[in-house]
Amino acid sequence: MKIFKSNRWMGLLISLIFIFSLCVAFSTAQEKMKTAGKATITYTVQETIDVDDTEGHALLISKIEGTNVSTGEHKFMDGAKVVVMGFGDYVKGNGPHLTYLKMSLNGDVVFAKGKGKTKTTLSPEGKPISTLEGTATYIKGEGKYKNIQGGYTYKAKRISSTEIVVEMEGKYFIKE
């Protein structure tokens, strides 16, 4: 009888250790990593189509490329090549935009889909100043980012006719 009770306690203990191990492994795999980054990106493609229904209404399609610099505690894609493909529906430089982002570094790749608003004002000298804000969601990953989940917010400012500075921060985890 004592052996039976002893084996039962041993079995219970082993089961509890196993469950605890699974919980720790699951929580580690689902840990959300905070990220932050900054990139100066340059237009490599920029096409504008005038709609002509309203003064200043145009559709913009673009491809912008640069390098990510991780500015957060967790060095997410530091030094990665950044490619942003976007579409804007603007009236005098104001309106919604839709973007797709691809970041790649040493065979690891993340893709995100974003949406936001572009706002353009005039400087005292009469030059347009465009800012962009929005949110993005990771839609695919490759390499160590396979099954990436999460997203980020972004703020950007056009600093010349060909360059934009983008700052991003967010969270991600790898879904097991």
For 59-109, the pLDDT digits (tens) are: 999 999 999 999 998 899 999 999 999 999 999 999 999 999 999 999 999
Enter the pTM of the model: 0.80
For 137-160, the pLDDT digits (tens) are: 999 999 999 999 999 999 999 999
Q: Where residue 4 falls among pLDDT bands split at 50, 70, 90? A: very low
* Residue 31 per-residue DSSP state: P
Label residues 2-20 b or e (16+ Cβ within 10 Å = b). Answer: eeeeeeeeeeeeeeeeeee
* Residue 52 Ramachandran class (φ > 0 left, ψ -120 to 50 alpha, else beta): left
Mean pLDDT of the chain: 88
Q: Helices marked H in the chain — which ranges?
A: 2-29
Q: Give the tokens for residue 157.
A: 């400012």
Q: Where residue 26 falls among pLDDT bands split at 50, 70, 90? A: very low
CB-based contacts of 19, cutoff 8 Å, min separation 6: none
Q: Rounded to an integer, what distance in angstroms lies between the CA atom of residue 11 and that of residue 14?
A: 5
Amino acid 9: pLDDT: 53
- Count of CB atoms situated within 10 Å of the CB of 168: 25
Selection from 49, 31, 69 nearest residue 176 by Cα = 31
Q: Establish how many alpha carbons lie within 13 A of residue 41's alpha carbon, considering only the half-sphere containing its beta carbon.
A: 31
Residues in the chain, overall count: 176
